[in-house]
Chain A
Amino acid sequence: MDELTREFLIESQEGLDRMERCLTDLESRPEDTALLAEIFRSVHTIKGTTGFLGFKRLEKLAHAGENLLGLLRDGKLTAEQHIITGLLSLLDGLRSILRTVESDGGEGEGNDAALIARLEELQKVEVQKADSRQDKLRQTAATPDEADDASALTSAKVQNPLLMMLAKEKAEAQKSAAIVPAAQSASIATIEAEKTVSMAGTASSSAAESTLRVDVALLNQMMNLVGELVLTRNQVLQATASDPKMTLLSRRLDMVTADLRESVMKARMQPVSNIFSKMPRIVRDISQLLGRKVRLEMDGQETELDKSLLEAIKDPLTHAVRNSLDHGIEPPAIRAAAGKNPEGTLKLRAAQEGSHVLIEVTDDGAGIAADKVRAKAIERGLITAEAAAMLPERELLNLIFLPGFSTAAAITSVSGRGVGMDVVKTNVEKIGGKVEIESRVGKGTTLRLRIPLTLAIIPALIVRSLEQSFAVPQGALSELVHLTAAQAAKDIEWMDDAPLYRLRGQLLPLIFLDRMLTAGKGGRELEGRDIFVAVLDADGRRYGLIIDGLADPEEIVVKPLSAVLKDIGLYSGATVLGNGDLALILDPGAIAARAGVTARAEEDAAAIDADALEAEESHENEFLLVEVAGRRAAVKLGDVLRIEQVPVSRIEYAGLRPVLHFDGQLLPVEDAGGLLAAAHDEMQVIIVVCRDASRQVGVAVSNVLDVAAGSDLFEAGTSAPSAGVTLLKDRVTNIVYLGSVAELPMIDQTTEPWHTAVENA
C-alpha cells in the first residue's frame, strides 16, 4: 500500500471516529450547527480524497451521505432519530469499505445501492413536506461540489467575519474555475479552509501540528530497551555504591534513566477517552435494541493509560457496559413501577489512584440478588449447595465471574450466552488488573476495574526464602512483621495444621513460603530462627507469607516465563535484580488460592452496606503510631512508604543534616527526638520513609507501635478542628509534619564541570 493511501486511511478513520462522537452528541443537541459542520467535514474530506485515489465505491457512498448532511447543516432537515440512525449506518458502511481497503488494497465488490437509496429516501421524505423555497435549495444540493464548500465554510464559523468573506470568495472562484475537476477543487477547498482556521489561531489545530504518528511496535521496542537500561542502571548502582568517585556519575545516570523511562512511558499513554468515546454509540444502539432509556455519564476521560492496556480493557469494558444495560437497568415501565426515574443512568468513571487506574461502571438498575446468584451457581453445578451456604454475601457475588455463569433468564443478542463476566475478569487479570463488584438490590451495581498504569515495570519487595530471592509486588503488600525466633515460637499459634498469627487482635492465616515451594508439609516445629511475615492482600484475601529475610525494595522489570514454568501457577514472571541475580515474581493471589485462603469472613454483609466513600475516609484517618525518645507521635499512614531498620553508622551527614544513602539516592532524615545524636555506632535505628509531595523523607523513631485510626479533635469553645494533633488510642498525639523537613541542595543548582560536559556532549 502506498504512503498516500495509508495516510488517507488513518485520516479517514480519525474523521469517522470524530463523526461517531458528534452523531451521538447530536441526538441530544440536534440543533447544534458546529456538530453538523464537523460531521459534514469528515464525510466531505473522505469524498474529496477518494476522488484522487480512485475509490469509486467510497466516493459514491460518501456523496450520498454528504447530500443528506448538506440539508441537515443548512437547517432544511432536523436531525431526528431515524436520520441519525441512517447516518450511523452510513458511518458503518464507510468503515467497512475502509477496512477492506486496508486489508486488500481495493474497495471490494460489495453493493451499497440499498444504503444509498435509504440515504436518498431520508432526504425525500422531508422534501415532500417542504415548501418550494426548500425545493429550490435541494436543487443546489444536487450540485454540491461548488455550493457545499462555500456553505461549509460559512456555517462552520459563521461568527468569524474573515472566514465569511473567504467563503464568498471561494464560491466565486469555484464558479469561474469550473474546468478544475470537481473532487480536486473540493479537497483543496477543505485544506485551505483548515489552514485559515489554524491561522485564525484555533488551539486544536496547532496542537495537531506539533504531534507525530509513531508506530506502536517502535514504542514497544523503546520500552523494552528502557527496561534493559533500568536493569543495567540497577547493576551499575550496586557495583559502584562503594566508590565515591562514581557516586556523582551514577546518580546522574540514575536520574537520566528515570526521566527517560518516564518519557517513554508517557509517550505510550493515551487518554481513556479513546475507548470511552465508543461508548455513547454502544449505549445508544443497545438501549434502543432492548427498549431501555439510558443516560450515559462519563467522568475522568482525560485519565491516561498505557496504550497496550487500553487496548486490553476495551473488550472487557464494552462487555461490562452491555451487561449493565441488559441485566442491570430495567425497562422504563418496571423502573417507573419501582418508583425510579424511568430513565436509567449509566456512569463511566476513570481516575488514577496511585499506581493504578480505576475504571468504574455504575448503573442504577436492579442490582444483583445474592440468593439468585447462589441458586444459579448451584444449578449450573459451579458450586455445591453446602459450599454455597458457607459463603458470605460478598463472595457470592464473585460467583458471577465463574466461567459458564449467566443469570439472564432469556438469551438475547446482547448478552446471556454463557460467556460473560468471566471474560471480563480473565482479560483484566491477564494484564495484572483486578475486578471488583458491588451491588445493592434495587439500587444498582458497580463494577470496578483496577488496572495497573504500566505492565513492564513494577515496584516490588525482594524477599529471601530457600536461599533464593523472590519478588513480591508492592501492590499486594500491606505490612511486614518481624518475629525473632523466640517470638515466632510463642506467637505463631496453630489450629489443627493451620498456622495463625494474631495481628492486632485479628487472626491472620500464615503460609510458609519455603514449605509451599518444596511441597513439604512440615509440622509445628520452627527452625528456631528469625522470620518475617509479609502481610499480603490479594483480592481481599489476607494472609501472612512467612519468609526468611528481606532485601531492598526495587523497581523490577517483569520478564515473561516460558509456558512450562507458568504452568506451575505460583509465579507471574521473573526479573533480573540489581545484583544480577534472577528472582521469580510471586503471584500473591495464586499462593492464597493454592493454600486455600479465602476472603475474610468478617468483611461480609456489614462491609457491603458500608459506603465505599466511608472506607476511603477512614483510610485517610489512619496513622502509624511511633515512639520517639519516649514520646508518642503519629505519621499519616498514607504517607508511609516503608520502614527501614539501619545501623546508626549508615547515617551520614551532609553539612549538619543527617541523610541516609541507599541505591544512589539521598534521603533527608528528620531527627526531632535527637535519637541519632544520642546513639552509638552499633545501635540500630528505625527510619520511617515517608512521601512528602514528590520527595521522600525519613523520620528517625525509636519504636513503631501500631497502626490505628485517629479522630479529629476540636478546640473547646470554638469547636474549630485543630491541626497537627489527633486522638489516637484515646491519647492526644502529635502528627509529624513532613513539610518541615528541609530540602536537600539539588544537583542542578550546583555547577559541577562534568555536569555541563554531559549536557554539551
Chain B
Amino acid sequence: MSTAPRAILTQSRDAVPEVVEVCSIRIGDGLYGLPISHILEIVGGAKPETVPLAPDFVGGLVHYRGDVLTTVNARKLLGLPPLEGKASDLLVVEGTNGCFGLIVDSVREVLKVSREDFEPNPSTVHERTKGLLAGAYKLKEKLMVMLDPQRIDPLELAKAS
C-alpha cells in the first residue's frame, strides 16, 4: 500500500475509539470528509480576496480573528471548474504549519462513522489526487472520500507543485 493513508491506518491500530467524527463536505457532486479534530471553525458565505500571481490552488485570503489566512480552493485542487455565482463555505483547518482555510461548496452535517467502514485509497485513483486523499468511508448511500489535512496544507501543496 502506498504512503497516503498512513495517518488513519496507524491511528486505527492504536487504541483510538472505533467511532470517529467527520465533517462532511460537498464539493461538486462528490461527498468528502475531514476529521473534525482538525477543524477550528466553519465560516459561511466567505468571500476570499484573490491574490494575483498566486499558485493556482490558492483560493485567496480571508480575515479570520485578526489574522490573514491563506485559503486553498478545493475545487481547483480536485480539478473541478470554479463555482459561479454561489457563495462558498470556509473551513478553518489547523495544519502543522499553522492555520489555513479550505474553500468548499458547502459544509454538511458532522457524521459519526465507524472504523469498520474505512477503506484505504484504491490503487486506481488518479496519481495527482491520490496524494490529497486519505481513503474513504463506505456510507450507506454514498462513499465519503477523506481529505488528508496534512497534504492539503498550502505549504505542502507548494512544495509538491
Contact = CB atoms under 8 A, between A and B. Distances in A.
Given A468-B50, A582-B61, A564 B66 contact: no
B52 to A, nearest CB: 4
B55 interface: yes
A228 B49 contact: no
Contacts, number: 64
A660 B154 CA distance: 46
Interface string A505-525: 000000000000111000000
B155 A564 contact: yes
B62 interface: yes
B6 interface: no
A337 interface: no
Contacts of A518: 52
B22 to A, nearest CB: 26
B66 A224 contact: yes
Nearest to A467: B50
A301 B158 CA distance: 46
A517 B63 contact: no
A582 B68 contact: yes
B68 A559 contact: yes
B158 A574 contact: no
Contacts of B54: 564-565, 568
Contact of A563 (B61, B66, B155): B155
Contacts of A573: 68
Main DSSP-derived SS at the A contact region? mixed
A580 interface: yes
Given A559-B67, A559-B68, A564 B158 contact: yes
A72 interface: no
> Which of B61, B62, B100, B154 has the most chain A CB atoms inside 10 A of its CB?
B61
A231 B51 CA distance: 21
A582 B66 CA distance: 11
B63 A565 contact: no
A582 B49 contact: yes
A666 interface: no
A565 to B, nearest CB: 6
B70 interface: yes
Interface string A211-232: 0000000000000100110010
Contacts of A570: 53
Contacts of A517: 52-53
Nearest to A570: B53
A194 to B, nearest CB: 45
Contacts of A582: 49, 61-63, 68
> Which of B51, B70, B98, B158 has the most chain A CB atoms inside 10 A of its CB?
B51
Interface in B53-96: 53-55, 58, 61-63, 66-70
B56 to A, nearest CB: 11
A582 B155 CA distance: 21
A429 B49 CA distance: 27
Contacts of A752: none
A188 to B, nearest CB: 50
A563 B100 CA distance: 12
Contacts of B100: 562
A574 B66 CA distance: 11
Contacts of B97: 563
Contacts of A581: 49
A576 interface: yes
> Which of A517, A562, A573, A574 has the most chain B CB atoms inside 10 A of its CB?
A562
B98 to A, nearest CB: 8
Contact of A574 (B53, B68, B98, B155): B68
B50 A565 contact: no
Contacts of B69: 562
A583 B49 CA distance: 8
A564 B70 contact: yes
Contacts of B158: 563-564, 567
A576 B68 contact: yes
A92 to B, nearest CB: 40
Interface size class of A (residues with CB under 8 A): 20 to 34
Contacts of B154: 562, 564
A564 B152 CA distance: 13
Contacts of A560: 68
A561 to B, nearest CB: 7
Contacts of A565: 51, 54, 58, 61, 70
Contacts of A389: none
A564 B68 contact: no
Contacts of A580: 63
A584 interface: yes
A408 interface: no
B51 A568 contact: yes
Contacts of A53: none
Contacts of A576: 63, 68
Nearest to A557: B66
Contacts of A224: 66
A215 to B, nearest CB: 21
Given A568-B53, A582-B49, A562 B63 contact: no
A559 B65 CA distance: 12
A574 B55 contact: no
Contact of A564 (B49, B52, B58, B63): B58
Nearest to B70: A562
Interface in A516-563: 517-519, 559-563
A582 B12 CA distance: 42
Nearest to B62: A582
B68 to A, nearest CB: 4
A546 B156 CA distance: 35
Contacts of A231: 66
A466 interface: yes
A231 B53 CA distance: 27
A251 to B, nearest CB: 24
Interface in B16-63: 49-55, 58, 61-63
Interface in A554-605: 559-565, 567-568, 570-571, 573-576, 580-584
A575 B67 CA distance: 9
A418 to B, nearest CB: 30
Nearest to B69: A562
A156 to B, nearest CB: 52
A567 B58 CA distance: 13
A227 B67 CA distance: 11
Contacts of A563: 97, 155, 158
A231 B65 CA distance: 11
Contacts of B61: 561, 565, 574, 582, 584
B117 to A, nearest CB: 35
B53 A564 contact: no
Nearest to A231: B66
11 contacts: A224-B66, A468-B49, A519-B53, A559-B66, A561-B68, A562-B154, A564-B54, A564-B157, A573-B68, A581-B49, A582-B63
The 10 closest A-B pairs by CB, nearest first: A517-B52, A582-B49, A562-B70, A559-B68, A574-B68, A564-B154, A564-B158, A228-B66, A568-B53, A576-B63
Given A468-B49, A565-B54, A575-B68, 10 more contacts: A517-B52, A559-B67, A562-B69, A563-B155, A565-B61, A568-B54, A574-B61, A581-B49, A583-B49, A584-B51
